[in-house]
Amino acid sequence: MKVPLHLAKEKEAQAIGFPPVAEAEHQMRLLAEIDDYRKSARSLMVMLETCTKCGACAEACHSYLGTQDFNNIPAARADLFRKIYKRYFTFTGKNLSRFIGAEDFDAETIGKWVTYFYQCNECRRCAVFCPFGIDTAEITIAARHILTRLGVMPRFMAGIAANMAKTGNNMGIPKPAILDSAEFMEDEMREETGLEIKITVDKPGSDILYIPSSADFFSNIDTMIGAAKMFHALEVNWTIPSTVLEAANFGLLFNLDVMKEQNERLREAAASLGAKLVIQGECGHGWRAAKMYTEGATGPAPFELVHVLEYAYQHLPKFKLNKLPWRVTLHDPCNYARAGDIIEQPRAIIKACVTDFVEMTPNRERNYCCGGGSGLLMDEMMEIRMQLGKKKAEQVKELGHLDYLASPCSICKAQLPHVMKHYGMGDLKMGGVMDLLGKALVWD
């Protein structure tokens, strides 16, 4: 099977609980998994049965526009699933398959699914333009979940799931390293402000649990520093749980069983530290996974859940800010603008922090994905990733000179520097929105 990414090897798939199914059994297992999935997701069946192939999605999809590959048209991508569904689960498909576009499972099916469901960024832009509201992301989520159940998944995802199981975070950062990094960031803030701004870890009796992205403890340090400064300015009692140093939840992106485990970790961390308010850091899909599925996965949650940008927005009038003399634009992470209701808050925060905020076009719920969405950050996919990022690069280029591109999501933060460099904008500074708040805050 030739696919554009590295698949997990047998022992890697096995290590996270998905031993590969023998190829001879692929068809049987795939159909059994589809049957199982459709019982709990009628929305999937509606989406599989209502597409009229009107073509509205083609021009809406940056994946198709960037790659010009027919199978990356959302309706065509979904058809890879739809044809199998029709063939084996509908009356006409079982009896008259060749007349209704149904297709037999064959030796190519699994390879095609891997190839094209891992070129969908699950950005949901097609759903905004589809007259029926068909959301290809839902079909992609189902396909990837089912593939994983067969033991077929990117090596990248399997590695992250192994780290999540071991440490509760994607990067696999153990607690001593978390403490060391927190101390380093405290030193940095002391040098800059002269203040004792704390980043406490696992402090019992905390009112607020802050869930950063683990990348904030590696490359996106200013996002973490921005949040710490904000909490210091508000004088609140907060901590970070070492067991869930991760706003992301890659389970949503390749297997829903894995997603539930991370939802459960979040719940346990809040319970053990006594927090009543959980604040999710800058992470797009993780916000969707936490907001939309925590209670579905684990039952009623004994805490309130908000996003750090909602929280910062709520408290904006309380901050003493000195505007940075920068021209800044905002890249709307797909899962905020099309799946998580975080649209105006980052704009209000940025406008309070810089002198010149400029919108890219289109924006908000019509914004294009960075091209890394749904965890397509594999090095071996770099060429495709650059094609997926083409629309974004064009949007940014149209704005002329910029001092900063704000993209409050760790996947975007990992993808965009490659995209900007590839399309000749390698000097552009990038980072989160909390980074700006941290830099604009002034102290008495």
Binding interface with other proteins (CB under 8 A): 6, 155-156, 159-160, 163, 169-174, 176-177, 180-181, 184, 188, 213-215, 217-219, 221, 248, 283, 377, 379-380, 410-411, 413-414
Q: Cβ of residue 380: shortest distance to other proteins, in angstroms?
A: 7
For residues 208 and 370, which CB has a smaller minimum distance to other proteins in the complex? 370
Give the nearest distance from C-beta 252 to other proteins in angstroms: 14
Nearer to other proteins, 351 or 422 (CB): 422
Give me the least distance between CB of 59 and other proteins, in Å please: 29
**Which contacts (CB < 8 Å, 24+ apart) does range 45-51 have?**
45/85, 47/78, 47/132, 47/134, 47/135, 47/138, 47/139, 48/78, 48/81, 48/82, 48/85, 48/86, 48/139, 49/90, 50/132, 50/134, 51/75, 51/78, 51/79, 51/82, 51/132, 51/134
> In whole angstroms, what is the distance from residue 308 CA to residue 285 CA?
14
Nearer to other proteins, 73 or 253 (CB): 253
Closest CB to other proteins among residues 15, 277 = 15
Closer residue to other proteins (CB): 76 or 420: 420
Tell me how far apart the terminal alpha carbons of the chain are, to the nearest angstrom: 63
- Rounded Cα distance between 89 and 80, Å, is 14
Decide if 149 contacts 33 (C-beta within 8 A).
yes
Phi and psi at 321, nearest 5°, equal -120, 145
Closest separation between CB of residue 146 and other proteins, Å? 24
Nearer to other proteins by Cβ, of 15 and 316: the residue is 15
Nearer to other proteins, 9 or 276 (CB): 9
Render 244-266 in DSSP notation, one character per residue: G--S--THHHH-HHHHHHHHHHH
* Residue 148 or 169 with smaller CB distance to other proteins: 169
Residue 405: phi and psi, rounded to 5, are -110, 115
SS3 for 19? coil
Least distance in Å: CB of 431 to other proteins? 13
* Minimal distance, residue 168 CB to other proteins, in Å: 12
Please report how close the Cβ of residue 224 comes to other proteins at its closest, in angstroms: 10
> CB of 35: closest distance to other proteins in angstroms?
33
Least distance from other proteins to the Cβ atom of residue 219, Å: 5
Q: Which is nearer to other proteins, 181 or 387 (CB)?
A: 181
Q: What is the maximum alpha-carbon separation in the chain?
A: 77
Looking at the DSSP assignment, which residues form a beta bridge with residue 154? 7
Closest Cα to residue 75, out of 98, 99, 51, 97? 51
Query: Which residues have C-beta within 8 Å of that of residue 327, sequence separation ≥ 6?
Result: 354, 355, 356, 358, 401, 402, 403, 404
CA atoms within 13 A on the CB side of 35: 10
Question: In terms of CB distance, is 72 or 335 closer to other proteins?
Answer: 335
Distance of closest approach, residue 184 Cβ to other proteins, in angstroms:
5
Output the smallest distance, CB 215 to other proteins, in A. Answer: 4
CA dist 24 and 79 (Å) reads 23
Which residue type does 343 have? I
**CA-CA distance, 156 to 101, in Å (whole number)?**
34
Q: Are strands 238-239 and 304-307 parallel, antiparallel or unpaired?
A: unpaired
Calpha distance 186→383 (Å, rounded): 39
Among residues 190 and 323, whose Cβ is nearest to other proteins? Answer: 190
Distance CA 205, CA 223 (A): 25
